[in-house]
Amino acid sequence: MARNGVASWRRRSSDQSDDPSPCGSEDVHVLAVDDSLVDRKVIEHLLKISSCKVTAVDSGIRALQFLGLDEEKAAGDFNGLKVDLIITDYCMPGMTGYELLKKIKESSALREIPVVIMSSENVLARIDRCLEEGAEDFIVKPVKLSDVKRLRDFMTRDVGDRVRSDGEGTTHKRKLQESSDVSSSSPSVSSASSSSSSSSSLPTTPSRSPSPSPSVSLSEPSSPSPSTGSSGPCSPSSLESPTRRLKMTSCCD
Amino acid sequence: MLGWGVDFLRAEMNRLLALLFHQGVLDEQFLQLQQLQDESSPNFVSEVITIYFSESEKLLRNLRMLLMDRELSDYKKMEIHLNQMMGSSSSIGAKRVRNVCVAFRAASEQSNHAGCLRALELLEHEYCYLKNKLHELFQIEQQRALASGVRYPAQHD
């Protein structure tokens, strides 16, 4: 299960022994936001099994409160526990995951925190919108252990990048926005973008099997250009395939 | 150790699971949940499912109440409930329930009151079936745990 992942994660984190960030130490702290109690329980467990500390809240407003960014408190009034990743459901009453994403990216204190969106609906427009707004990833529910493992692997690498670039953060953060075309079922996509990855290759068949590490796209040289919309070689029809997760790749130039 | 009892019960459980898979009542997400269960959280699946049951019954009650008022059926609210039920059903692998929610939502989007009523009845039926079968599954599992004795530690550290 996730036990293998723990070993490799620790190996990587030892490279950053001087790293003061939480990823250099034991646990990644994830803030999970979902109005569904069932989903909260599942995602919480998935994260715990993957050696993450979890705080689960039931709304965007509570998430912002936890992050120290609500109207009552001054921004920067942190509760002390640094959050390394925010994973949020898209469809929530009140503040949607998209609105939460926007608020986080608008905040100078919080915009560095990677945000992942989950949704039970596989809607390209929605995915595009989220990625354009700065979401690191978009996971189609139901969330599986392989998704969480992938996120955690990405987190470790991500924090490493962040540390090495002296906290600038912007370089890697917008990498995924190079392309808004998402497909893990197109072979051409996989060959184009797996060049700089040393981890698992992209699946070429639409399946529910573990999806590739996001490091494939993250390690692409970044140009902080905004998303160009749904253009590129990835055909829309590939999205109708039962791919659970739409993979961000830099398939369009 | 009551070896024969454990094997028999395991076979019973597998048979029931296979049936539920075959019928499309459950999908592989249910297996994923089972894989998340281990010594440190030996009751994970039943805890999640218990929450699912209580949440779903609330949603079903709300849906029925919304549909009782023919004049002012609040379709938007129905869709919110349906989205919730769809989401949680897919999270536990309740495929058939989820699919009925999808059809229900389509009827709601068309403000089709009769269609919604039919869908609700079907949804209640599918949910009941699922609940009964899952209870059966848990009963077999409990018996198996008892029969195997040392299978689960009495306490975990």
> Each residue of B2-28: pLDDT tens digit?
555 788 888 999 999 999 999 999 999
| Span A58-67, average pLDDT | 95
Residue A80 has pLDDT above 90, yes or no: no
Peptide bond connecting A242 to the previous residue in cis, omega within 30 degrees of 0: no
Reduced to 3 states (helix: H, G, I; strand: E, B; else coil), residue B154 is coil
Nearest residue in B to A147, CA atom: B32
CA-to-CA separations, A154 to A45, B2, B107, B117, in angstroms, rounded: 19, 47, 41, 46
Is it the case that residue A40 has pLDDT exceeding 50? Answer: yes
- Residue A169's pLDDT is 41
> B27-66 pLDDT, tens per residue?
999 999 999 998 888 899 999 999 999 999 999 999 999 9
Work out the minimum CA distance from B79 to partner chain A, whole angstroms. Answer: 11
Nearest to A120 among B32, B38, B86 (CB): B86
ipTM score for this prediction = 0.86
List beta partners, residue B26: B94
Task: Inform me whether the pLDDT recorded for A101 exceeds 70.
Answer: yes
What pLDDT shows up at residue B157?
A: 52
| Listed residue (A76, A74, A87) closest to A109, CA to CA | A76
For residue A89, give the chain B residue with the closest CA: B87
Angle at A108 between CA A105 and CA A112, to 5 degrees: 60
- The token pair at A223 is 């140009």
Which residues of chain A neighbour B92 with C-beta distances below 8 Å? 38, 42
Give chain A positions within 8 Å (CB) of B91. Answer: 36, 38-39, 42, 141-143
Q: Which residue segments constitute the domains of chain B, with CATH numbers given?
A: 2-26+44-147 (1.20.120.160)
Residue B103 has pLDDT above 80, yes or no: yes
Token digits for A116? 């992942």
pLDDT at A159 over 90: no
Q: Which residues of B touch A120 (CB under 8 A)?
A: 83, 86-87, 90
Are B87 and A120 within 8 A, CB to CB?
Answer: yes
Q: Output the CA torsion sign for A52, A243, B98, B72.
A: positive
Q: What is the average pLDDT value for chain B, to the nearest integer? A: 90
pLDDT tier at B148 (50, 70, 90 boundaries)? Answer: confident
Closest residue of chain A to B80, computed from CA coordinates:
A93
Mean pLDDT of B103-122: 95
Q: Do the beta carbons of residue A70 and residue A79 sit within 8 Å?
A: no
* Residue A173 Cα distances to A113, A148, A218, A223, angstroms: 9, 19, 8, 10
The mean-pLDDT minimum among A144-148, A169-173, B89-93 falls in A169-173
Q: Which pLDDT belongs to residue A4?
A: 47
Q: Which residue of A has its CA nearest to B85?
A: A36
Crossing angle for the helix pair A3-13 and A145-164, nearest 10 degrees? 0
8 Å CB contact of A45 and B36: yes
Q: What angle do CA A181, A183, A187 make, to 5 degrees?
A: 115
Q: What is the pLDDT of residues A175-204, one digit of tens each?
A: 444 444 444 444 443 333 334 444 444 444
Task: Give me the pLDDT at residue B73, please.
Answer: 80
Name the residue among B55, B80, B91 with its Cβ closest to that of A142.
B91
Contact B92 A38 (CB under 8 A): yes
Å from B137 to nearest chain A CA?
A: 19
